[in-house]
Amino acid sequence: MVPGRKLPEDPLAFIRGCILGRRLFWTYHVNMRLAGRHITRDEILAAAGRYEVVESYPDDKYLPSYLVADVQPTGAFHVLFAVDVDADQATIVTAYRPHPDEWAPDLKTRRTQS
C-alpha cells in the first residue's frame, strides 16, 4: 500500500455514505460515457444498497479505488469509485456494462486471459 494513504475500514459503507450524503464527484470520463453505455446517474445512485465489491485497487494512481457491481435480472453494471477518506468523499471514475467475454456468468468474476 502507498505510505500515508488511508483506506476505509468498510469500503461499501464508505461508498454508500458518500452516495447518501451526496459527497460525490463525477469525472468528465463517466459523464461522457454514461449515455453511450445506457446507464443513468439515477441508476448508479439507486443501486447503492445492492453494490458488491468486485475488485479492490488500494494502490491506484491517485486514490484507493473499488470496482463495485450491481447485478439484477434487468441487467448489470460496474462502477469504479475512488475514495478519499480524509476528505470524506468519493469520485465516480467510470461505469460500464460488463461484457460476457470478459466476465464470468455471475458478472462479478473476471475471466482469466488465456
User: Per-residue confidence at 114, pLDDT binned at 50, 70, 90?
Assistant: low
All three cell numbers of 25: 464527484
Total-model pTM: 0.93
1 pLDDT above the threshold of 90 = no
> What's the pLDDT at 11?
97
How far the first Cα of the chain sits from its last, in Å, is 29
The one-letter amino acid code at 25 reads: F
91 pLDDT above the threshold of 90 = yes
